[in-house]
Structure 1
Amino acid sequence: MTSRPWVLRAAGLAAAATLALAAALPTTAAAGPAPVTHAIKSQISQAGEPPGQQKLPVDLPGGKTVVGETSPIHDPALIVAADGTWYVYSTGLVNRENGGTIQVWTSRDHGTTWEYAGTVWDRIPAWIDEHFSDGELPGNLWAPEITEHNGTYYLYYSASRFGGNKSLTALATNTTLDPSDPDYEWVDQGMVVSSPATGLDPANPAKTFNAIDAGIIEDADGTPYMAIGSFWYGIFLVQLEWPSGKPVAGWESKAVNIADRFMPGNPIEAPYITRHGDYYYLFVSFDACCRGGDSTYKVAVGRSTSVKGPYLDQEGRDMFGGGGSVVLDSHGAITGPGGQSVFGDYLAFHYYDGSNQDIPYFPTLGIQKIDWVNGWPVFNQTVETPSVLKQPKAAAAGGAVTFTATAGGTPGPVAVWEISYDGGASWQRADHQPVTKRTDEGSYRSTLEVSSGTYSDAGLLVRAVFRNAHGKAATDAVGFPAPPGR
């Protein structure tokens, strides 16, 4: 992210922050249900399997539809723990709302359904305020990066002041990502690098960088490096050392300037390097972030056989000199994708959601599974809003009722099942959601199973709302068959 005054952060995001989690939920407003509701909701199962026990389908390359609490997310850092839990760490809320520290989001169904899991700390560390005590204090912590080494998780994050490059990247460590673990504690390890910095280029003493947007990569020998930078002189590679996770002595003279657009403003930032096959791939964000519907952010990439570059794009142009192949740009309801990270074959990014009717262009989590084609990352930018192909019908068998609905769309839509207890006047999300699976024909099917204990509840209706990044489509509302013997 840049250090410029962002219209979205300064106004819209601050005003909307208190609504963020409610707006992110894929439900419609509903009146408080009667006490019997909770007993009924508990009888809605996940297609006959206990919660968390479903076999999850393998993702195909392309956009991955995410549902649940997915806003406000800026600069997502994605990691998947050994137990299969997906975590995203993201920029804190502005004006120190909720402490202003790094936010945490989790998914337990392979990155499809997300929920907010709180913040790393309750407040910004006091030493950061002391660092910026000569002027305006940072309103939030930015652009996290999360990596694991030898059983320790390293969380890098940034603090800065708008409109300049007085910035820093700092570090916290933990032995677990699970907040329920008794050993869970993010330990503040202090400063990693700060800017402005000197000694980066003896031939150009004025050369410096903006010390935000860290991304960590190990080379083939296990040596860690940090890609970092935003605007100014572009992207630098800084050598680190384990186990401290901090720069080696004399890092300034060893830093490599690996990307620079050499154009007015030099709009390049959010570097992230990942290794695939024989190459290191440098992902960056070009152009303007954080302007809501006016954002021009886009993801570009180059590759190199050495972590230190040179990184060349698909036309052979060096990213230190204006190169960079744009691989993900605005399309459909996705505006300004960027601020990316990579874990395995998944690219996580934020975008400004044009389909959000409550808060238009709210910053939202996006995920794509990378399709590696001829040694280059490819992203599917097909836009097809969901459409219902098969309406749900109640089918009673074995003391239960199932409802199956099918839809089409690209990215593949996910069904969020909703319940009405008042004949369709209001709706709310079912407690447990079945997995939406891709059929052999390329459509997407979801089956909700309800136990027979719900038969006695007159007026109970269900429907599925199929969603992807570009819109949604609701099925018809369906009631229950008469109980046997009536």
Structure 2
Amino acid sequence: MTENHDCNEPNQRSVLRTLGAGAIGTAGILGASGSGSADHGGDHYYNPLYKPHFPDPEVHRAADGTWWAYGTNMNRENTEDELLVPILSSTDLVNWTYEGEAFDTQPGWTDGSVWAPNIHYYNDEWIMFYSLEPRPWESGEFGIGLATSETPRGPFTDHGQVIGDGDTGGGTIDAYFVEYQGTPYLFWGSFQGIYVAELTPDLRDVDMTTVTQVAGDAYEGTIHHERNGYHYLFVSTGTCCEGHSSTYEYEVGRSESFFGPYVDQNGVDLMEYDEHNQGMPVLTGTDQFPGAAHGDITTYDDGSEWLLYHAYDADDPEFIDGVPRRVLMMDRIDWVDGWPVIGCDGTPSEVAPVPGSGTHCGDTGDGTLSAGTYRISNQNSGLLLEVGDADTSEGASVNQWSDTGHPCQEWELIEHGDGTYRLENGHSGHTLSVADGSTSEGATLVQRAWATAADQRWHLIQAADGSYRLENDASGYVADVLEASTDDGADVIQWSWLGGDNQRWHFDPV
């Protein structure tokens, strides 16, 4: 540890993490390795909610309280395997049942894959705007069509094309319908600008004389959301479809006017962004769940708001039968100073309290330590567990130091569902580990990239005084400040449990 304790400035994602968790005043992101769509129990659910291929989810609630979700199932390699908009239903937003396909036959106004459905209940019928893209070997243009049904289960009757690239010049997919002040509108756009225009009363056509551009070329997959006098434009940016390398994420702008300008948290008009991932993300992927975006917002009975979206799952192969499988995810939206915070710190949760549980952002409701983002202080010295010199390199040493307010002193606690946790450093993203995976007493603690190793897994054992000991899963030894030092820079090692204050740690939510 150098005397000047050189800590770099936090990046914008670190700032977001601090804003989200700190301003909410609870523990930050929830996380655990979960089993996908299965076995949600008690007061918590696990992401993914549904593991079959289900990109671009859209959701709407029926009058009887049932939620209906619609997704893409485009298969670029084998069209015979393609589902014509798969449909799911749920009574609790957590457990989803497959209900079949929205269409009996392929919409026929042009060849192509049906994707990015947008679903609403309007004028006593279920309406679906959908995108249609010609496959590489087919002719035709990109465009948006309309279909309707008397029931959410369908089948939907196709009414053909509403708008296409010939009308707009390009990027004419990813529709989002809004009724505003009694007039129907349609948002659309994919990396050639986001636009909004009036629909005709029968919804069959767009009045191109009313077109307004509301965001630049960096975006697609729009959501319009109204809250507390503001119009919010959630927009997807980055690469959606490159498997685990995808950079898809959500950014957001808000405006007092439906027609914009929509500005982000930095005061920048979304019209100014023309390249991927330029603005401040409100949801960005993790190593576990990369490519997180393109979804829809719904409200639960208690007034809480939830984002359903898609992401990849690192536990899956990148491609299933040639198709990059994207799975159904969900996270709560909290609002801090008028801005959305998704998943408590802007990243996908691996486990979270169910809607209606009355708890969120790390609060289990039973007084136990839950997953979240924490600063961890030693009971003996009062100093914080950190990575020395804010080093981001593999194998950098972990020690204790006075509070600097830097993310290198923050740790994301992620539950694995088997009684163990991992601790990821807020600055480097690496995991608290034992040097060389050693099981020897006195081995130093370091940071390494998460590799599912036993020496990277920790048991948290609470004492009556509220402190915790961190017991390593591989060695059975606990995290210990060397020689019970109270000095800045003292090494943290593993040692047999002796009950000393230098082996006791306090977790304070960021």
Which residue type is aligned with residue 157 of structure 2?
V
1:352-391 matches, cutoff 5 A: 352-356=312-316, 362-380=325-343
Aligned to 2:88: 105
Aligned to 2:286: 331
Cα distance in 1 for residues equivalent to 2:341 and 2:167: 36
Q: 2:144 aligns with which of 151, 158, 169?
A: 169
Aligned to 1:224: 184
Aligned to 2:220: 269
**What SS class does the counterpart of residue 109 from structure 2 fall into?**
helix
Cα distance in 1 for residues equivalent to 2:266 and 2:105: 46
Q: Tell me: CA distance 1:166–1:126, structure 2 relative to 1, closer, same or farther (3 Å).
A: closer
Deviation (angstroms), 1:117: 1.6
Cα distance in 1 for residues equivalent to 2:184 and 2:63: 21
TM-score in terms of structure 1 length: 0.59
Deviation (angstroms), 1:99: 4.7
Which residue type is aligned with residue 146 of structure 2?
L
% of aligned pairs identical?
30
Which residue type is aligned with residue 158 of structure 2?
D
CA contact (8 A) 1:67 1:113 kept: no
1:99-248 matches, cutoff 5 A: 99-108=82-91, 110-129=92-111, 138=112, 140-161=113-134, 166-177=141-152, 179=153, 184-197=154-167, 208-219=169-180, 221-232=181-192, 234-242=193-201, 244-248=202-206
Deviation (angstroms), 1:357: 6.7
**What SS class does the counterpart of residue 335 from structure 2 fall into?**
strand
How many equivalent residue pairs?
A: 319
Which residue type is aligned with residue 171 of structure 2?
N
Q: 1:412 aligns with which of 334, 352, 356?
A: 352
Measured against aligned partners, the alpha-carbon deviations of 1:109-146 in whole angstroms (never above 9, x if no partner) come to x11112222111233123323xxxxxxxx2x2110000
1:349 aligns with 2:309: yes
CA contact (8 A) 1:217 1:225 kept: yes
CA contact (8 A) 1:165 1:210 kept: no
CA contact (8 A) 1:87 1:106 kept: yes
Cα distance in 2 for residues equivalent to 1:68 and 1:410: 10
Aligned to 2:51: 70
Cα distance in 1 for residues equivalent to 2:332 and 2:347: 18
Cα distance in 2 for residues equivalent to 1:148 and 1:187: 15
**What SS class does the counterpart of residue 80 from structure 2 fall into?**
helix
Which residue type is aligned with residue 330 of structure 2?
I
Measured against aligned partners, the alpha-carbon deviations of 1:259-317 in whole angstroms (never above 9, x if no partner) come to 11xxxxx4411111111110111011111111110101010000111111111111111
TM-score in terms of structure 2 length: 0.56
Q: 1:89 aligns with which of 70, 88, 92?
A: 70
**What SS class does the counterpart of residue 320 from structure 1 fall into?**
helix
CA contact (8 A) 2:110 2:141 kept: no
Which residue type is aligned with residue 123 of structure 1?
T
Q: Tell me: CA distance 1:383–1:236, structure 2 relative to 1, closer, same or farther (3 Å).
A: closer
Aligned to 2:438: none
1:315 aligns with 2:266: yes
Cα distance in 2 for residues equivalent to 1:189 and 1:383: 39
Cα distance in 1 for residues equivalent to 2:51 and 2:366: 29
Which residue type is aligned with residue 340 of structure 1?
G
Structure 1 regions of 5+ residues with no counterpart? 1-22, 28-45, 48-55, 130-137, 199-207, 261-265, 386-408, 415-436, 445-469, 476-486
Cα distance in 2 for residues equivalent to 1:25 and 1:327: 24
Cα distance in 1 for residues equivalent to 2:158 and 2:232: 30
**What SS class does the counterpart of residue 293 from structure 1 fall into?**
helix
Deviation (angstroms), 1:325: 3.2
Aligned to 2:6: none
Deviation (angstroms), 1:359: 6.5
Deviation (angstroms), 1:474: 4.9
CA contact (8 A) 1:302 1:311 kept: yes
Which residue type is aligned with residue 104 of structure 2?
D
Aligned to 1:280: 231
CA contact (8 A) 1:333 1:354 kept: yes
CA contact (8 A) 1:159 1:168 kept: yes
CA contact (8 A) 2:243 2:319 kept: no
Measured against aligned partners, the alpha-carbon deviations of 1:155-183 in whole angstroms (never above 9, x if no partner) come to 11111135799311001111221x4xxxx
Measured against aligned partners, the alpha-carbon deviations of 1:213-242 in whole angstroms (never above 9, x if no partner) come to 0011222x122211101012x111121143
Cα distance in 1 for residues equivalent to 2:294 and 2:140: 18
CA contact (8 A) 2:54 2:71 kept: yes
Cα distance in 1 for residues equivalent to 2:151 and 2:61: 12
Aligned to 2:212: 256
Cα distance in 2 for residues equivalent to 1:294 and 1:372: 29
1:387-466 matches, cutoff 5 A: 411-412=351-352, 438-441=364-367
Give the root-mean-square deviation of aligned CA atoms: 3.4
Q: Tell me: CA distance 1:381–1:196, structure 2 relative to 1, closer, same or farther (3 Å).
A: farther
1:340 aligns with 2:295: yes
